[in-house]
Structures are given as C-alpha cells and as structure tokens.
Structure 1
Amino acid sequence: MTQQTHEPGPATTTTAPGGPEPLAGPFPPPAEPRPLGERRVWPRTFHDRLTAPLPGLKALARFAREGAVRPGPDGLADIPRLPYEPGPLPRVDTRTLAVTWAGHASWVVRIGGLTVLTDPVWSRRILGTPARVTPVGVPWDALPPVDAVVISHNHYDHLDAPTLRRLPRDTPVFAPAGLGGWFRRRRFTRVTELDWWEGAELSGTRFDFVPAHHWSKRTLTDTCRSLWGGWVLTAPDGQRLYFAGDTGYGHWFSRIGRRYPGIDLALMPIGAYDPRWWLSDVHCDPEEAVQATLDLGARRMAPMHWGTFILSAEPVLEPLTRVRAAWEKAGLEREDLWDLPVGASRVLD
C-alpha cells in the first residue's frame, strides 16, 4: 500500500497549506491565523490527501462474502452494561479546560472561556445505522450558549444536519476545506474553512486543522470532494486539546505532536475497527489509539467513537477493555486515561 505523505526531504520550512511537511529539524510555528468567515476556492477533489487507497471492487466483494457490520449475539449482550452516567456540566472559568462526553465523537469542550461542540450528533438515529445504544449524555436544553462548532469530516455520524439545525445560524463553525458550502446552503453565516496546518482564532483561542488518515463522502457523487482531519484547540493561557475526529493510525500523529507540543488532552477514537482488513486504514483500534497518544506527546487521553452507534463487528464493550489494557501495558498513569461514561465530565484546572 503506497503512503502519500506530502513531505519533501529534510527541511525546516513548510510550503503550501496541506502540502509538504519537514521530515527532520524543528517544525515551523503555526501559520498566521486565517480571517474568520473567509470565502475561498478549493480544489475539486482531495483524493491526493488519501494515505491509503479506498476499497476497490475486490475488497467490496470480499466484504459482501465475509464482512460483518454488527457484533454477534454475545457481543450485543453487553449493551445494558455500556457506561452511561449523565451529570451536570462543570462550572468553569477562562483558565479551565473541561470536557463532557455526549457520545460517539460529540464533546462539549470548555476551553479559554468558550463552549465548543465537536462533531455534534444529538439525533437518535443516523443514516444507515441502527439507533444509538446509549442516549445522548447531555440534554440539548442543558447546554450553555455554544460559542463554536468544529467538524472533522462529512460522514453522517460526524456531520448531523438535524442537530446543526438546532443552532443559531450565526454560530461560528470551523470546517474542513470544501465543506463550507454545505453550511452556507443551510444559512450559516460564520463558516471558516481550513486546510491542513491552517488555523484561525476566536476570542483568543486558536483552532488549527490537522491531518488525519481518513476520507470523506456524503452522497454518491462527492467522494473526497471535501477534506477530513482533526483539530487542535489552544487557549490563550496555552492549554491545548487535540480532537482526532475519525482516523486510522499512521505517520501524522508524530508530526502533529511536533507542530503542537504540550497537548494536555487527546480525544481519541477507539471503536469501529472490526474487521481490521476492512477498517484498519481509517479507524484506530484501541492499541493504536494509545500509541497515537504517545506519538502526539499528549499528557492524557479520553476515548471516544465507541459505545454509542454500532458501526462494526467488535463486541460493544471490547474497545473499553482493550484500551484499558493497552494503557496499562504502556506503563502510563491510570489517572491520565479519562475513560468517561457517556454524559460524564472531567476538568483540568
């Protein structure tokens, strides 16, 4: 499998956004922030950003023969035991970093005095999957005013139109390159599209869009027409959070960690990984998520992307047991694994 890394030989300067990154030497500082709401022209396709080929006809035929999209009866039996402990949102100030897991890849992030939603999905059901197996961890009417939304990519379990319709249309949205039109068609007025390694600022907090090993598709005709990635949020006081979105394991994590050192918390996907021959390029398994956290140099990890929607064949509780075992095997402090139940919160003062 050919890896397209967008990287030249050793160098200490970067080129165009989303383009080559240095292999050695110090990484350049983050680029100057882009203007909020800037209208931009993007390439027609982002296929050149793929780090693995999309499944071809042979892979699709194999999946039709032997693939599984749901666990067996034994794997589903633990649904009643999935951790769900909703509680009130913590009280915070501008110096507090706090996260509340609403389920799947949806977090209520409090950073730099802002309330930020990541990939908000408050719907009970999304296209093509059974209904969620744990309720949303935070009632919509319990949310404080939402200061910003970040979107990792356009798959239905990360970009949910019914949820986004609940937001005021002047809510600032940070979106991948090529996805702004989707929001503007829905009358959102403050949409900032970013390429990889670009950032923008809102009320002193920096939002940087970073690479991921994934892809995008929402209709039959828009494969890789918009970009995909994760987000690094940096508060004015330097507190730093990484939201991975949806990603497989690979070379980007160490590069993100070098460009954005001192990540206090990494929100990492650990589910939807079985069968591996089908999903390994685009979804981390629990052991890879722990390794990615080490590559990032992040101090803490909070697992996500499990225990909410049944998207693949692993038993529903397996991601949690495996990530705990991998964390212990790596010799990491147990208190730095924030394996939250849906609805629970943690605060970093």
Structure 2
Amino acid sequence: MTDTRPKVVRRPVGARCDRPDGYRHRLADPLPSPRDMLAAVVAGKLRPDRSQAPLIPVHPEPHGGFDAGPAETSATWVGHATYVVRIGGLTVLTDPVWSSAILGAGSRLTAPGVEWDAVGPVDAVVISHSHYDHLDAATVDRLPRTTPVFVPAGLGRWFRKRGFDGVTELDWWEEAELDGVRFGCVPARHWSRRGPFDLCRTLWSGWVLSGPGHRVYFAGDTAYGPHFARIGEAYPDIDLALMPIGAYEPRALLSHAHVSPEEAVRGCLDAGAARIATMHWGTFALSGEPLLDPLERARAAWRETGRAPADLWPLAVGEGRSLP
C-alpha cells in the first residue's frame, strides 16, 4: 500500500518551542493593551460604516476558476482569507470560513462566493493561525477527518482533538510535500489567541505552495516587515501573492498585526511576486476604515508601482482567475 502521508523536510532555522510562554518571543511588536482596545471600541474607532456593504463587488461564477487542469493553477476568492487554490492537480483551501457569523467578527457582510458543495473534494487545507476569523470550527467540522491539514507549530493538537489524522505541524521555514506540491511554512508578523489562557501558545504563519508549474504565497494575517524579502529569497519566482489589504485602522492599534493596502503592495514587491490578489476585506467588519477603502487604496498603490495593471487581481467575492 502506498504511503500518502506528507513528507516533511525540516530546516534548521527556528527550533520548536517548549517555552512556558509559548511563542511570545516571536512577537515583532508589543500587543496593544486591553485598556487601549477597550477605549477604541468605546470611541467607535473599530466600528466602520456598514452602509457601503451593498457596494462590495460579488460575482460568483459557476466554476469559480478552480476547475483548472492538473497543469494549471487558479485562485478563487471565497471571502475574507479563504481561497480555493488549484495547484498541481490539488484543491487547497486557505483558512476556510463558510460560517455566516464569527465570534468577535459578527455577521458576514457578503455571503461566501463559492457554495460549499461546489468546491468538491478538498485535497489539503492550510491554516495561518488560531484567530476565529481564520480558524472556524463549524467549517472545519464539515471536512472529512482524513483531509490533510497543514498548520503552524502548536496548532496540531486542536485538529487532532477533533479527530483529524492527517495533521502536519510545521515551524517557520519547514516544508512538507503532498503529491508533488510543497507546503512551506513561512514567517508572518502577527499573534495568536483563541481563549483567555492561550495567548501566543501556538504559532502564526504564511504558506508558500510550490507546484510543478507555479508558486503561490498565502500571507495569512501579517503586519509589514523584513520577512517579506526573506520569503522572496527562500522562494524565488513567486507567481501569485494572496495578500490581506483590510482591517488596518486605527493604525496605532493594528499596525502591529495587519498591513495597510500600501504595505500589502510593498510586501508583494519585496517578496518578488509577479502578481497580487487581494483578500481580508469586504467580508467581516473588523476595523475602522470605510468598507471600500482597502480596494481603492490597493488599486492606487499598485498604479504607483508602474507594474502592469493586469498583475493586480482585485477579485470580487466568488471570482477566480488562472495563472498563465
């Protein structure tokens, strides 16, 4: 019988953590204090005007672009940080969230752009970190327990407790391979928490998927920093970067964890990616910027780079595109 478990390649860059404070030593910036967060909530700085929600572009397609052949690569935006990525013949979900509401994020502004049953068999899932808007238990529970799942260090236990038997847990700069596609766990500038007593007890990350023909970088949640250039050095010739562009205001509270649209574009260039596809906006009202600002500012920032307009994928919810 053929062994189909992912093959793991360890890189001696970041040792696994057995510290009692978890991964707090990996924080790039201090976290805002609870008092500062409460003051922002009371002042309304984290409540955007939801009146623009009907203007968020939604264009679900019958096949969403993820019916690509084995030699093709496509990406379809379901909403928030959820993409259906078709690469190397595999269907990969990033931070899958199909729930209508999320603890701490409220109800969706837009429905999932792809119906769950339309996705078909899922070959693998990648998770960036433990926050509820990226790790949704209700959606995860819809997956077969044999689904291969790739998670940052410390998060494997959460999946194994739910009965998943194909969990691959990686530290930054470690890789695993599944059916010819390499899954590289790469740094992000963020943090993790799921309950009152697990602050930074699990790692946060991005992922680089390297197939036989293309390379896709999924940034997860991240602030701007030198890690983008390091990722580009470790994984040259990235064809597409899936970059977050929302949840960035007020900057005094969120710059430690989320890029602005301009920083997302800069991070894409730092990583040497040929194209950028936007995400992490237009799904949940998480912060104070106007709902349509992330896309407008990302478009303006991309124009300023002088790069080809076609290399910015400002996807509507449900829209998918294939790499050439």
**Are the equivalent residues in 2 in contact too, given 1:233–1:241 (CA < 8 A)?**
yes
- Establish whether residue 208 from structure 1 lines up as the match of residue 204 from structure 2: no
Structure 1 CA distance, aligned partners of 2:276 and 2:134? 20
What do residues 130-182 of structure 1 show as CA deviations (whole Å, max 9, x unaligned)?
21010000000101210000000000000000001000000000001000000
**Are the equivalent residues in 2 in contact too, given 1:82–1:317 (CA < 8 A)?**
yes
User: How far did residue 94 of structure 1 move?
Assistant: 1.7
Counterpart residue number, 1:46: 23
Counterpart residue number, 1:125: 101
Percentage of identical aligned residues: 58
Mark the runs of 5 or more structure 1 residues left unpaired by the alignment: 1-13, 20-39
User: How far did residue 77 of structure 1 move?
Assistant: 2.2
Counterpart residue number, 2:4: none
Report the RMSD for the aligned CA atoms in angstroms. 1.7
**Are the equivalent residues in 1 in contact too, given 2:11–2:174 (CA < 8 A)?**
no
Counterpart residue number, 1:71: 48
Matched pairs, number: 312
Structure 1 CA distance, aligned partners of 2:115 and 2:242? 21
Mark the runs of 5 or more structure 2 residues left unpaired by the alignment: 1-9
- Establish whether residue 225 from structure 1 lines up as the match of residue 221 from structure 2: no
Helix, strand or coil: the match of 2:102?
A: coil
Counterpart residue number, 1:145: 121
- Establish whether residue 310 from structure 1 lines up as the match of residue 257 from structure 2: no
The TM-score with structure 1 as length reference comes to 0.86
Counterpart residue number, 1:161: 137
User: How far did residue 58 of structure 1 move?
Assistant: 5.6
**Are the equivalent residues in 1 in contact too, given 2:105–2:133 (CA < 8 A)?**
no
What do residues 84-140 of structure 1 show as CA deviations (whole Å, max 9, x unaligned)?
000022331221110000000000000000000000000000002221010000000
Structure 2 CA distance, aligned partners of 1:177 and 1:157? 19
What do residues 201-230 of structure 1 show as CA deviations (whole Å, max 9, x unaligned)?
000100000000000000000000000010
Change in CA separation of 1:332 and 1:178 when aligned onto 2, cut-off 3 Å: same
**Are the equivalent residues in 2 in contact too, given 1:105–1:305 (CA < 8 A)?**
yes
User: How far did residue 64 of structure 1 move?
Assistant: 5.2
Structure 2 CA distance, aligned partners of 1:129 and 1:175? 22
Counterpart residue number, 1:178: 154
- Establish whether residue 287 from structure 1 lines up as the match of residue 262 from structure 2: yes
Structure 1 CA distance, aligned partners of 2:69 and 2:203? 33
- Establish whether residue 17 from structure 1 lines up as the match of residue 13 from structure 2: yes
- Establish whether residue 268 from structure 1 lines up as the match of residue 248 from structure 2: no
Change in CA separation of 1:185 and 1:61 when aligned onto 2, cut-off 3 Å: closer
User: How far did residue 60 of structure 1 move?
Assistant: 3.9
Structure 2 CA distance, aligned partners of 1:152 and 1:57? 24
Give the 5 Å matches for 1:49-128: 49-56=26-33, 59-60=36-37, 62-63=39-40, 66=43, 68-72=45-49, 76-89=50-63, 90=65, 91-128=67-104
Decide which moves more: 336-345 or 42-51.
Answer: 42-51
Structure 1 CA distance, aligned partners of 2:107 and 2:54? 14
Match for 1:82: what amino acid?
I
Helix, strand or coil: the match of 1:321?
A: helix
Helix, strand or coil: the match of 1:306?
A: coil
